[in-house]
Amino acid sequence: MHKTLIAAACAAVLAGCAGTGPSGSASDAAVRAKAVETMKTSFKERGIAKLDRLDQDETQSVCSQYSTAAPPKEVAERIEKANMALVKPPSDGKYLGDWKRGEQIAQRGTGFQYSDTRETPVGGNCYACHELSKAEISYGTIGPSLHNFAKIRGYGPDIQKYAWGKVYNAHAYTACSFMPRFGAQGILSEQQLKDVVALLMDPESPVNK
């Protein structure tokens, strides 16, 4: 599993230990320290999966302090602003790739796991959280349905830019999102990001049928 996915799981565990917000009490600090110690003791390096996957960046660290409630408005705004600054547009200014390749990426869950190698094709694992088309018989529901994504929102450049940004760094739009930061964390390449955005935006994509 990729570092950002491991860290997200760690954040969930830490959040469960910390309650609904940072209290700063000694007991909270002790519980969090114990949780980190337990995770680092139980997680062993294997293959390409290294211990640095347990390290949290600033966004993950802040988000892990909130569990049953969303972060306060001012905290959420700070997180979204910081992450929006990390969103980089495509180098050639074109947001769309090949939706057929994007579909393969969305339906593939390989990459960054201990059983993979650095040459293993990386997938987006999108189906684990989203419905992509009505033809699917199995999909996750952690995230909203993406069926008819562009058919509902439109196919114009503003929606293309939004889709790119959302896939690139979801925290820029929804603080403490469960969605991996596919671009900001280097999970998917620029071309892969374009292909996934095309899956969402192309009128011929099964997403929009």
Region of 169 please: left (phi>0), alpha (psi -120 to 50) or beta.
beta
Question: What does R_g of the chain's alpha carbons equal in angstroms?
Answer: 18
Class of domain 99-208: mainly alpha
10: pLDDT confidence band, cut at 50, 70 and 90?
Answer: very low
The pLDDT of 128-149, averaged and rounded, is 96
Q: What is the rounded end-to-end Cα distance, in angstroms, of the chain?
A: 32
pLDDT tens by residue, 165-195: 999 999 999 999 999 999 999 999 999 999 9
pLDDT tens by residue, 90-125: 999 999 999 999 999 999 999 999 999 999 999 999
Q: Is the dihedral of CA 6, 7, 8, 12 positive or negative?
A: positive
Q: What is the pTM of this model?
A: 0.84
CA gap 108, 126 in Å, rounded: 8
Block residue for tokens 């997680």: 43
pLDDT tens by residue, 11-65: 444 444 444 455 556 677 788 788 878 888 888 899 999 988 888 999 999 998 8
Coil, strand or helix at 144: coil
Question: Domain-by-domain residue ranges, the chain?
Answer: 3-69, 99-208
Backbone angles phi, psi at 49, to 5 degrees: -85, 105
